[in-house]
Amino acid sequence: MIAAAAQMGVPTVEDLNSLDSSGFGYQPRNIWKGKRQSAAKVFLRPAMQRPNVTVITGTDVLRLTHAGKRVTGVRIRNAQGERDVAAREVILSAGALNSPTLLQRSGIGPAAHLRSVGVEVLHDAPGVGHNMREHRLLRAQYRLRKGSENASFQGAGLYLSALRYFLLKSGPLTSAAFEVGGFIRTEPGSGRPDAQLGMGPMSIDSSTPGLSLHGFPGAMCGGYVMRPESRGSILIGGPDIATPAIIDPNYLATDYDRRVSVALFRFIRTMFAQPALAPFVVEEIDPSAGIETDDEIIDAYHRIGGAGYHAAGTCRMGEDEASVVDTRLRVRGVEGLRVVDISVMPSLVSGNTNAPAMAMASRAGELILADAD
């Protein structure tokens, strides 16, 4: 795929993070000694040695507690029951779907909606839950002659992969699925790349329930508009944490998002026809085979595409009064409360969101310490 992209004029790069222009290469991964590393493992666990850190797991934060407009802590529920935990300052990091809904359940959100679902309003913040940005991904799949890892994840191949993993900490079980990635410019005038692609040397058999791979060699390549213009929303359905939220991602609502989505999908097809890839390819298969016109491609994004799992923007940061948090991550309209997660991103970043979430947390630490002084 890297060679095929080069044949289309997209340069090969060592480090995908180093560029602000088009390029293809191997994806950076949070994998160390064959194991994916989470922020909890790498940052939180070492910090748990400190005497002033207490971690409570298996616990739902139901809502924030407050005295007037000052946030005083959180109301939690776990196997031991419900109780309040007091705090000098609350740092809310429940993610782009749960931070806005937790704020709304606590009375901080669009007043009319909160009243309509029976929540008493603490602060009318119309932006909470709006401005949701999310990637809409569509993948093309190909049957291959060779060069696939499908066999490594099933039957005897899986036993071999497991053995290799436990003995050598290497092989397919240490892979990040989308091993190769790239950034492309589909609109000539767009300056920076506008679409992101990822390829996995495996193909999903969607004719069976669950997540199973094809019994023949296959590969997939998916992509999305990097900085979508479309804005969705998430609003609580009721005051109780168990009531499902009303989520409207509003995918591909603008001409730009639809244009780039179509162009990147056509790019994938052209790439699989390049001399570097064509000898591997038998044919395009489900779910993408047979989708031809622009309208069919857009329909496919909605019908068989998926979320990029990068929802962001629902507690937007800004200097304007309509933003949810200010530039020091403090929630406007109340005291003693910050949001630190990717819900504060005003728009999506040019790529995946995990590393930016960690970078943001690091910067938030500096701000919190500085303000505590």
> Which residues have a catalytic role annotated?
310
Question: Do 247 and 97 contact (CB within 8 A), yes or no?
Answer: yes
CB of 16 to ligand FAD, least distance (A): 12
Question: Do 344 and 329 contact (CB within 8 A), yes or no?
Answer: yes
- Residue 93, interface with ligand FAD (CB under 6 A)? yes
Question: Do 142 and 220 contact (CB within 8 A), yes or no?
Answer: yes
For ligand FAD, which stretch binds (CB under 6 A), given 120-128, 256-264, 290-298, 354-362? Answer: 354-362
Closest to ligand FAD by CB, 39 vs 278, is 39
Cα separation of 287 and 251, whole Å? 19
- Residue 159, interface with ligand FAD (CB under 6 A)? no
Closest to ligand FAD by CB, 198 vs 336, is 198
Closest to ligand FAD by CB, 260 vs 357, is 357
Cα separation of 303 and 178, whole Å? 22
Question: Do 365 and 371 contact (CB within 8 A), yes or no?
Answer: no
Question: Do 181 and 196 contact (CB within 8 A), yes or no?
Answer: yes
Closest to ligand FAD by CB, 261 vs 353, is 353
CB of 236 to ligand FAD, least distance (A): 12
For ligand FAD, which stretch binds (CB under 6 A), given 96-104, 126-134, 260-268, 298-306? Answer: 96-104
* Beta pairing, strands 246-248 & 108-109: unpaired
Q: What is the secondary structure of 171-206 as a DSSP string?
A: SGGG--S--EEEEE--SGGGSS--EEEEEES--B-T
Q: Where are the beta strands (DSSP E) in the chain?
A: 23-26, 31-32, 35-36, 60-67, 70-78, 81-86, 90-92, 108-109, 123-124, 136-144, 180-184, 195-200, 218-225, 233-235, 246-248, 281-285, 306-307, 337-339
CB of 246 to ligand FAD, least distance (A): 17
Q: Where are the beta strands (DSSP E) in 188-309?
A: 195-200, 218-225, 233-235, 246-248, 281-285, 306-307
Question: Do 286 and 20 contact (CB within 8 A), yes or no?
Answer: no
CB of 60 to ligand FAD, least distance (A): 4
- Residue 28, interface with ligand FAD (CB under 6 A)? no
- Residue 206, interface with ligand FAD (CB under 6 A)? no
What string marks each residue from 313 to 352 as x (binds ligand FAD by CB under 6 A) or -? ----------------------------xx---------x
Written as six digits, the tokens of 250 are 């509003």
Using CB atoms within 10 Å of the CB of residue 141, give its burial: 0 to 12 exposed, 13 to 18 middle, 19+ buried: buried
Closest to ligand FAD by CB, 95 vs 318, is 95
What string marks each residue from 101 to 120 as x (binds ligand FAD by CB under 6 A) or -? -x------------------
- Residue 357, interface with ligand FAD (CB under 6 A)? yes
Closest to ligand FAD by CB, 83 vs 145, is 83
What string marks each residue from 299 to 318 as x (binds ligand FAD by CB under 6 A) or -? ----------xx--------
CB of 368 to ligand FAD, least distance (A): 15
Closest to ligand FAD by CB, 270 vs 327, is 327
Question: In this chain, which of 19, 87, 91, 94 binds ligand FAD, going by CB under 6 A?
Answer: 94
Cα separation of 138 and 140, whole Å? 7
For ligand FAD, which stretch binds (CB under 6 A), given 44-52, 93-101, 162-170, 277-285? Answer: 93-101
Question: In this chain, which of 95, 157, 239, 333 binds ligand FAD, going by CB under 6 A?
Answer: 95
* 292: number of Cβ within 10 Å: 8
Cα separation of 56 and 22, whole Å? 44
- Residue 257, interface with ligand FAD (CB under 6 A)? no
Question: Do 359 and 339 contact (CB within 8 A), yes or no?
Answer: no
Contact residues toward ligand FAD (CB under 6 A) are 60-61, 93-96, 98, 102, 309-310, 341-342, 352-355, 357
